[in-house]
Amino acid sequence: MNQFKQMFVAQLKLTFREKQAWFWGIFFPVILMSIFMVIFSGSSDNQFSAKVAIVNESPNPTSEMLLQQLTQIPVLEIETGDTVSREKADELVKDQEVHAAIVLPESADDTSISLIVNKENEQGVTTQALSGMLNNFVQQANLYAVGAVPTYELHFESITPSSNQLSYTDFLLTGMIALAIAQGGMFGMVDLVEMRRKGLIKRLRMTPANMNIFGLSDMIMRLLFSVIQIILLTIIGVSLFGANVYINFPSLLVVFLLGALSFNALGYFFSSFSKTSEAYMGVANIVSFLMMFLSGIFFPIETMPEWIQPLSNILPLTYFVEGLRESMVYSTSIFTTSLWTAIGIMVLWGGTAFIIGSWLYKRKSIVATR
């Protein structure tokens, strides 16, 4: 126990001295989460609205009828509260002071309505929503013109695996917690590279120190580091951004422990073949950024292009995010099959990385003694 205490304190000092590990494990996730939550916080709860300019340079019965109906659409915010000239509308769209401009028919016989958008925003969500809305409006106007009575109507409902009302901030919070713990594991083993490069591990093996206790102290220290991450990010998400958590503690405990150990194993694997800390950080950076944007942290995987989804579905961070989301947001029971499937794939990655890393360390140790 005395040897464990001394090694644990030594590991703690090493971690405090490693500024990069603190940045990638704590400060970077906090900064990134804050940026995304400021941008998207509450976006799923607020009603969609768009600012538009309406052009009606040649008022006629058709344009007046359409204008009256457009002004009754609650999500359209009409610039200046009145119609503008075509020249003024083009200027507003170019300067991005409005999302779009709607040009009404110039005569009673004209059957076209034009939607003018800025080229830079042509593929934007607001533009696509306005286009769909205007298409629906035209269809309704056509039915009204011929005196047809609509037979069917659409009712929109949304359901969630949780009985609670969830928002994007809840979705993002769990993703950022998973990212922080994963990066803490992948970037946190850089000190092993430096210890091996300076010959400290070789010297340690020559002392009465128990290497198993050395590894145990390092693992426990990193688990405590991950506990700090999950508590800090949860407090920030809940207190500053209004995120909601509905935790199933047994599920969270299992997912957290196995996930943290799996990503520590990945970091251990990176350190086994990296000759310098720069090489280690380069590999960890590449893997981290790849998984950051492909593992469903910021947006659901289902919204990604179909050709890239198979890659997302084999990454370990995808299943760690899924497991944390199930246990912290949806309050999923520990006996759920889908939860254990995610845990199994994640542990498979961690176990494989640890076995290969251990083999590489042992191989280098044997070569060094010859």
Which residue ranges make up each domain of the chain? 2-42+167-369, 50-146
39-48, 120-129, 268-277: range with lowest mean pLDDT: 39-48
Q: What is the mean pLDDT of residues 26-44?
A: 71
Q: Which residues neighbour 323 within 8 Å (Cβ) at sequence distance 6 or greater? A: 251, 255, 259, 339, 342, 343, 346
Task: Tell me the per-residue pLDDT of 303-340, one tens digit each, with 9 for 90 and over.
Answer: 788 888 899 999 999 999 999 998 998 888 899 888 99
Provide the sign of the torsion angle of the four alpha carbons 215, 220, 224, 229, taken in this order.
positive
Q: For residue 140, what pLDDT band results from cuts at 50, 70 and 90?
A: confident
CA distances from 219 to 8, 177, 233, 264, 324 (A): 9, 19, 21, 8, 20
Residues 259, 181: contact at Cβ < 8 Å? Answer: yes
Q: Which residue has the tokens 């400021």?
A: 38
Nearest Cα neighbor of 296 from 267, 273, 272, 316 is: 316
How many other C-beta atoms are found inside a 10 Å radius of the C-beta of residue 144?
13
Residue 32 token pair:
């990134």
Check residue 367 and give its pLDDT.
46
Question: Kind of pairing, strands 114-117 and 100-103?
Answer: antiparallel
The interaxial angle of helices 337-369 and 316-328, nearest 10 deg, is 140
Q: What is the mean pLDDT of residues 69-73?
A: 82
Q: Is the pLDDT of residue 194 over 70?
A: yes
Residues 282, 139: contact at Cβ < 8 Å? Answer: no
Provide the sign of the torsion angle of the four alpha carbons 245, 242, 237, 286, taken in this order.
positive
Q: Which residue intervals of 76-210 are DSSP H helices?
A: 86-94, 125-146, 168-187, 190-197, 200-205
Biggest CA-to-CA distance, the chain: 96
Q: Which of 177-181, 293-297, 301-305, 346-350 has the highest mean pLDDT?
A: 346-350
Which top CATH class is 50-146?
alpha beta
